[in-house]
Structure 1
Amino acid sequence: MAVKQIDALGVKQVLRDAEKLFLQGMSGEPRSLHAIVQDDPETVSHLSVLTSFVSGINPYDCALISRAANVTGFFPLPKDATGNYRQIISTYFGVSDAIRAFAADTVFIPVSRPDKDGMVTPGLSAEFVAASLVSASQKVAIICPSLPVIPHDGCLYVDQFSHSYIDDTPPRSLAPTGAAVDPVTGAIADHLAGLICDNATLQTGIGRVPGALFSKLTRHRKLKIHSGLISGDVRMLVEAGAIDPDSLMHCATVMGSQDFYRWLDGRTDFQLYPIDHTHNPATLAEIEGLITVNSAIEVDLLGQVNAEKAGDRYISAAGGLPDFSAAGHRSPGGCSIIALPATDASGQRSRIVRRLSDDAPVTVPRTDVDYVVTEYGIADLRGKTPDERTAALIDIALPDARERLTP
């Protein structure tokens, strides 16, 4: 296939010719489109858009979302964002099927500069690249010189694309949390570190807790990583020699600072895979010693987890949490851990609650939770009766809330 090189005007024409656009999220976001469309939002006013934008990371207040005819996504629309938006309820593993069913005719994929053989890599994210390319007739490679070259599953050549666009916009970044954390996060990390042994395979989300946890694991050895996302905080483990040198770190996307991206360039100990692999129950079932560490908004005394709704507003989605919690719970020698501060940001409202409210989603069922960790300790729920689970969870709640929580 002859690849047509285009400029910003050519990008607009591609969008005008499109009917159904898949818009990749996380660090695979095609950031240059925002500036191109901003001064001419009618370019997208006819489009049906499916997006894997993630709340709190990718911008929903952009013309690609607010001016499109209709937009479907997998995370809730932020409070101040506008647009004709609908949210599909799905775990992250189910997103690929939804993308294939949507059958976008147009996709924009940020890729590294082609090598001498014309091979490119999907930059920082392979999450849904393969799934979105299946149906598209307009496949635009956004060639970003600043993207690191990271090995990925499968071969991707620039001549597989119909168009190419050279772009200097830096990829979306995420500041490292590092070892300098607040006392609550530090206490949670201390408890978590005691649950992790050498040779474990780790999955974590993003945020302060994983960064603080990694800073506590630098003396561990032969740790492995299999996660949907790897953040820049993993660099601490690599440079401390805590990661198993004979095992590749598997993830669907990486996200961190621009300095982290430069550090990644050319490394061979990371491997990008699509969500179809990283979150696949069949893949996860083969991992022994998988320890999953994720956060939540609240946990009730049954051990049920709500990671989506705070008060009367949805602020997140299930994402990969159900996928990985189930896998950790079932992994031989592994476990599923939910780690959260004992209170909300006000310091007044307990995040250990008697029962989830009637309209709160159960993101993770009680049967897939092995440990709950707060700054006050560890609740081991394994092999416990309902009354014993209740007592264990009350013991790690805010002390002032324990009497209210006691049945």
Structure 2
Amino acid sequence: MILNWQATYQKRLVDAASALAKIRRGARIFIGSACGEPQLLVRTLLDMAPSLADIEIIHFLDAGTTSYNEEKYTEAFRHNALFIGTNTRAAIKEGNADYTPVFLSEIPLMIQQGAMPIDVALISVSPPDSSGYVSLGVSVDITKTAAEEATYTVAEVNPNMPRTLGDSFLHVSEISAFVKNDTPIAEFEQKSPDHIARSIGQLISDLIDNESTLQTGVGKIPASVFPYLCNKKDLGIHTETFSDGLIDLIEAGVVTCRKKTLNQGKVVAAFCMGTRRLYDYVHNNPLFEFRPCKYVNDPYVIAQNDRMVSINSALTVDLTGQVCSDSLGFEFYSGIGGQVDFVRGSAMSKRGKSIMVLPSTTEDGKISRIVPCLSPGSGVVVTRGDIHYVVTEYGIAYVHGKSVRDRAMTLINIAHPDFRSELLAAAKQQRYIFQDQTLPVVLYPKEYEVHWVDKQGVEIFFRPVKATDERAIQELIYDLPEQFVFTRFFQSLKSFPHKVAMPLAAIDYNDKMAIAAVIGKEEPEGREKIVAIGRYINNPNTGFAEIAFTTHQDWQNRGVGTFLLQYLIRIAKEKKIAGFTADVLRQNRPMLLVFSKSGYPMTTHLEEGVYELKIDFSQENI
């Protein structure tokens, strides 16, 4: 049969009505996913509705080219969505269709083990090649498993379907019937990112290292990161799906897949959705390897990619880190899909990162999408234990392994400013945080972030202090020798409690400014360590600000204090501050030397062993 596949193909080549005539009432029919939907077969199936009854339609992602959810088809068809698309959402909301929440990686196993038996599979394929193999083209995902396990498989042969490579082929002998249809493949047009999506994309790009392997969902927010990756090198792709934006990164030499630790040199995916440009690009292109979801979405396979970065969208995130991605209260909206598969796979990856993204508010700006608690009916897709990074247009929160108190504060800090006070009050009411906790009234000034290399060649990240730095500030103080503490605070401190540490962290970034020297930037934010802090507090009556420094003993004599002073001078001048004052113990010679290098006139007055210093910005040293 294999040697004479042409005869088999011709024998099984029929018209659509004949191919579907064998479908019995009450059958379970799987329809090819997304843009791989067999359009002629679906239209013919709808035409046959009067002769059918209680047909269950299994669909992973409905591209919406036709609708069997209309009321006139109620007795013939019942749609069971494994992921909810726009064409199915209203029917599910009204109770006229079903939704099965399931991990995408587990669907093939359910089909194979009989938990979700498939009677009929309707698929779309490329024409047979010289060896009698057809390609599933843009939709391999769970379509291949369904086609292999179905009792009866009908393939719509479409010359417009690209011949994609990988584990994407079926032999003619494996297919029950063929129907020809020369029609354009359904296309998906990605919406252009708005300013919020672009802001989120830029923040995400900061988390992506060279040689990372990426997974992004289809949507304007996950895809918004692509334009900001142009300066990256040797990125790889292992993703459930992709769209046209990937082509630009490949042609720019950013995505090469050369450094992947699994499937090196290959873009691995389960399906794609895009325009004709994309379909032409993947046709017979050996760079792309399409595989079923039982491989692509397997967390243990995903984890074999070093530096695996997953980027997925959330609908809401609560203050404890629970992520809802499939529903709006009791209304099912999308689905679990492969989100959890990639969250867990990237978390297990060596140097991997799992990133959840969402705008800070709904489109009208009236509702915060970071919430005190999930609303009734909302489904937890990513649990508190799975969550790692959360990104909104207002910043990045790393919450994995952090306490509920730290999580709440970190997430409030990336919420929309209009809702932060409300979230803070809710967190206090829920006893998540200190009852006296405060937040800055000014947005975090990201423009004051800077990298600098010290005298020993170590790169240090300098950034404004955040309200969430309270514990890190305490750790810095407790790590200082007693004599250092006395030099800095003019007294021996037996404790440095919340009531003392909080005001040092919750600053206004105007009259009160503090810059932290941070190491460990290459690791997740939870592993950052503050090794020095320079701060000033402005006196509005004099126009001068009192300045002070705290530096870990291991980081002294490396130029850190001098850099902090110069940087704080620059910021203070931008804020129209006239100069600095400081009190320095006479024996603190290193600090006196730092101040002498300010570049501005300095006056000193010694009283009872303490130098009172004054630096005037109005004129520079000659």
State the distance in 2 between where 1:63 and 1:166 align: 30
Match of 1:295 among 294, 297, 313: 313
Task: Indicate if the aligned counterparts of 1:27 and 1:125 stay in contact, CA closer than 8 A.
Answer: yes
State the distance in 2 between where 1:186 and 1:169 align: 35
Question: Is the partner of 2:131 in helix, strand or coil?
Answer: coil
Q: Which moved more, 1:38-47 or 1:327-336?
A: 38-47
1:172 shift after superposition = 2.2
Letter in 1 for 2:211: N
Check 1:154–1:339 CA distance in 2 against 1; reply closer, same or farther (3 A cut). closer
Residue 234 of structure 1 is matched in structure 2 by 246
State the distance in 2 between where 1:26 and 1:96 align: 17
Task: Indicate if the aligned counterparts of 2:315 and 2:326 stay in contact, CA closer than 8 A.
Answer: yes
Q: Which moved more, 1:283-292 or 1:43-52?
A: 43-52
Check 1:37–1:57 CA distance in 2 against 1; reply closer, same or farther (3 A cut). closer
Residue 266 of structure 1 is matched in structure 2 by 284
Structure with larger Rg: 2
Match of 2:300 among 268, 282, 285: 282
Match of 2:396 among 365, 368, 378: 378
State the distance in 2 between where 1:239 and 1:362 align: 39
CA distances 1:13-62 after superposition (whole Å, capped 9, x unpaired): 13358833222222232222232233332244353333323487985636
State the distance in 1 between where 2:56 and 2:266 align: 38
State the distance in 1 between where 2:72 and 2:321 align: 39
State the distance in 2 between where 1:303 and 1:342 align: 15
Residue 196 of structure 1 is matched in structure 2 by 208
Task: Indicate if the aligned counterparts of 1:65 and 1:71 stay in contact, CA closer than 8 A.
Answer: no
State the distance in 1 between where 2:322 and 2:62 align: 23
State the distance in 1 between where 2:64 and 2:414 align: 28
State the distance in 1 between where 2:25 and 2:316 align: 46
Question: Is the partner of 2:80 in helix, strand or coil?
Answer: strand
Give the gaps of 5 or more residues in structure 1: none
Match of 1:341 among 345, 359, 363: 359
State the distance in 2 between where 1:32 and 1:64 align: 19
Task: Indicate if the aligned counterparts of 2:316 and 2:369 stay in contact, CA closer than 8 A.
Answer: yes
Residue 87 of structure 1 is matched in structure 2 by 99
Q: RMSD in angstroms over aligned alpha carbons?
A: 2.4
Q: Does 1:74 align with 2:85?
A: no
Question: Is the partner of 1:203 in helix, strand or coil?
Answer: strand
1:210 shift after superposition = 2.8
Q: Which TM-score applies when normalising by structure 2?
A: 0.61
Task: Indicate if the aligned counterparts of 2:39 and 2:65 stay in contact, CA closer than 8 A.
Answer: no
Task: Indicate if the aligned counterparts of 1:93 and 1:280 stay in contact, CA closer than 8 A.
Answer: yes
Higher relative contact order (CA 8 A, sep 6+): 1
Q: Which moved more, 1:186-195 or 1:111-120?
A: 111-120
State the distance in 2 between where 1:194 and 1:241 align: 19
Give the gaps of 5 or more residues in structure 2: 2-7, 259-264, 429-622
State the distance in 2 between where 1:250 and 1:47 align: 34
Question: Is the partner of 1:366 in helix, strand or coil?
Answer: coil
State the distance in 2 between where 1:41 and 1:134 align: 26
Question: Is the partner of 1:379 in helix, strand or coil?
Answer: strand
Identical residues among aligned pairs (%):
30
Question: Is the partner of 1:165 in helix, strand or coil?
Answer: strand
Question: Is the partner of 1:253 in helix, strand or coil?
Answer: strand
Residue 360 of structure 1 is matched in structure 2 by 378
Q: Map residues 27-46 of structure 1 onto 2, 5 A cutoff.
A: 27-46=35-54
Match of 1:224 among 217, 236, 239: 236
Residue 208 of structure 1 is matched in structure 2 by 220
Check 1:65–1:304 CA distance in 2 against 1; reply closer, same or farther (3 A cut). farther
Q: Map residues 146-161 of structure 1 onto 2, 5 A cutoff.
A: 146-153=160-167, 155-161=169-175
Letter in 2 for 1:127: D
Check 1:10–1:62 CA distance in 2 against 1; reply closer, same or farther (3 A cut). farther
Letter in 1 for 2:89: P
Q: Which TM-score applies when normalising by structure 1?
A: 0.92
CA distances 1:207-248 after superposition (whole Å, capped 9, x unpaired): 112332111112211101111111221111111111125320
Match of 2:410 among 380, 392, 396: 392
Question: Is the partner of 1:397 in helix, strand or coil?
Answer: coil
Task: Indicate if the aligned counterparts of 1:372 and 1:380 stay in contact, CA closer than 8 A.
Answer: yes
Match of 2:146 among 116, 128, 132: 132
State the distance in 1 between where 2:327 and 2:120 align: 33
State the distance in 1 between where 2:72 and 2:80 align: 12
Task: Indicate if the aligned counterparts of 1:253 and 1:272 stay in contact, CA closer than 8 A.
Answer: yes
State the distance in 2 between where 1:64 and 1:52 align: 23
State the distance in 2 between where 1:251 and 1:106 align: 25
Q: Which moved more, 1:241-250 or 1:265-274?
A: 241-250
Question: Is the partner of 1:117 in helix, strand or coil?
Answer: coil
Q: Does 1:325 align with 2:343?
A: yes
Q: Which moved more, 1:351-360 or 1:187-196?
A: 351-360
State the distance in 2 between where 1:399 and 1:322 align: 29
State the distance in 1 between where 2:71 and 2:185 align: 19
Check 1:104–1:43 CA distance in 2 against 1; reply closer, same or farther (3 A cut). farther
Letter in 2 for 1:78: R
Question: Is the partner of 1:120 in helix, strand or coil?
Answer: strand
Letter in 2 for 1:79: A
- How many residue pairs get aligned? The number is 405
State the distance in 2 between where 1:274 and 1:64 align: 34
State the distance in 2 between where 1:128 and 1:73 align: 13
Q: Does 1:8 align with 2:16?
A: yes
Q: Does 1:176 align with 2:190?
A: yes
Q: Does 1:20 align with 2:31?
A: no
Letter in 1 for 2:318: D
Q: Which moved more, 1:134-143 or 1:321-330?
A: 134-143
Task: Indicate if the aligned counterparts of 1:20 and 1:48 stay in contact, CA closer than 8 A.
Answer: yes
Task: Indicate if the aligned counterparts of 1:230 and 1:253 stay in contact, CA closer than 8 A.
Answer: yes
1:355 shift after superposition = 1.2
1:342 shift after superposition = 0.3
State the distance in 1 between where 2:291 and 2:66 align: 21
State the distance in 2 between where 1:83 and 1:10 align: 33
Letter in 2 for 1:22: F
Task: Indicate if the aligned counterparts of 1:26 and 1:58 stay in contact, CA closer than 8 A.
Answer: no
